[in-house]
Amino acid sequence: MAERADDRLLRLLGIVAYLDGAGPVSIADLAGRFGTTPAQIQKDVDALWVSGTPGYWPDDLIDFDAASIDRGVVHLTEARGMTRPLRLGTREAIALVAALRAMKATDAVQADPARSAVVESALRKLTDATGEAASAVDVRLAPGGDRQVVAAISSALTNRHRLRIRYVTSSDVVSEREVDPVRLHTQDEFAYLAAWCYRADAPRTFRVDRILEATETDVPVQAHPGDATGEIDFAALFAGGSSPLATIRFAPRARWFAEEVPVESVRNLPDGDFEVTLRVTNPGWLRSSLIRLAPLVRSVSPGVLADDVAGAANGALALYGVGDAATSADHH
């Protein structure tokens, strides 16, 4: 599975901070400390070598001793201020206080004493530094699910173990599944578990408050197909924000889509069909999903999305020498 950009960013910053205090370190030792390969450390150093502070002239860039690199040793000679304490303005500090209070209120943090202690420590320091302004911040989150369920999910994520869950849909259909958990995420008022579902043999998302039971097994999570083979980009699915909205009408047999993909709203229609509204945060994934579900898609809006799906389908058919696809996703 491809490395997430935010994971690499944390490692890059950590490498600079560590080398600033440790002095020259062999590439092999650095790889062991940061849990990666010597080849990846070499790539990280190459990336850091062309990074720095605004201006990006030679005197603005992070620098290493080139001769040491040739000997398999990383020697940081100029951090360009990357290890200085971060200075926050009042508005920035208050935003962080709000985010930390929201994080502290989540079941995932409350179920993990170590994680809760870290959040509490950071929150206390920021609150003390911000003073009275922090007292005006009031953050309350809706319940995210059964405490024991969240504890099991949190433990499985930490230990990278498979989960066995009992899940109930909005139609009161209960199923038992084995899943490899990927991450917990909050979207609007709900918490979701992103996971690889062995029953579906595909990525799925589960609303945590609909997980009736969760049991951590001792089976390690497995590697699964990457984006190139159609895996859902979970980070993009949950991005929300200002992403454009799409409205899709499905036949009843596609009900699982509304259950396992975060949507803005679901509207049941008199003829048994249903309509979902969702944010288009990952157009490629949505396009491929609608093509796979084409027989169950009644309509798609806005028109530009329907045209995009039809164009992709026609392009795929053209590779096989077939004429234009008769799309079942009409415009609204």
How high is the pLDDT of residue 239? 45
Domain span including residue 19: 5-78
Characterize the bridge pairing of strands 202-207 and 330-331: unpaired
Domain boundary among 233, 262, 278: 233
The sign one gets for the Cα dihedral 52, 53, 58, 64 is negative
- Return the DSSP state at 242: T
100 within a domain of the structure (yes/no): yes
Q: Is residue 310, in this structure, part of any structural domain at all?
A: yes
- Let me know whether 309 and 250 are in one domain: yes
Q: What is the spatial distance between Cα 76 and Cα 17, in angstroms, rounded to a whole number?
A: 10
Which alpha helices (DSSP H) does the chain contain, by range? 5-22, 27-33, 38-49, 66-70, 90-105, 107-110, 113-130, 132-135, 147-159, 234-237, 255-260, 283-292, 303-319
Number of domain units in the chain: 4
- Are residue 59 and residue 97 in the same domain, yes or no? no
pLDDT attached to residue 219: 93
Sign of torsion over alpha carbons 137, 138, 141, 147:
positive
Residue length of the chain: 332
Q: Based on the domain organization, do 254 and 225 belong to the same domain?
A: no
- Domain annotation covers residue 307: yes
Q: Could you tell me which of 170, 168, 102, 183 has the C-alpha nearest to residue 140?
A: 102
* Residue 239: inside a domain: no
The predicted structure's pLDDT at residue 108: 61
Give the pLDDT of residue 16: 84
Does any domain span residue 329?
no
One domain, residues 129 and 147: no
Picking from 300, 318, 317, the residue whose alpha carbon sits closest to that of residue 309 is 300
Query: Do 311 and 249 fall into the same domain?
Result: yes
pLDDT in the model for residue 236? 45
The verdict on 205 and 124 lying in the same domain is no
Choosing from 117, 137, 157, the residue where a domain stops is 137
Q: What pLDDT does residue 23 have?
A: 83
Q: Do 151 and 228 sit in the same domain of this protein?
A: yes
The verdict on 12 and 56 lying in the same domain is yes
Report the predicted TM-score, pTM, of the whole model to 2 decimal places.
0.42
Please give the average pLDDT of every successive group of 10 residues along the chain, which has 332 residues. Answer: 64 83 87 88 85 65 84 85 57 69 68 75 74 54 68 87 88 85 72 84 82 93 59 45 77 82 81 86 78 87 80 67 47 44
Same domain? 249 vs 313: yes
The identity of residue 132, as a single letter, is E
pLDDT value, residue 21: 79
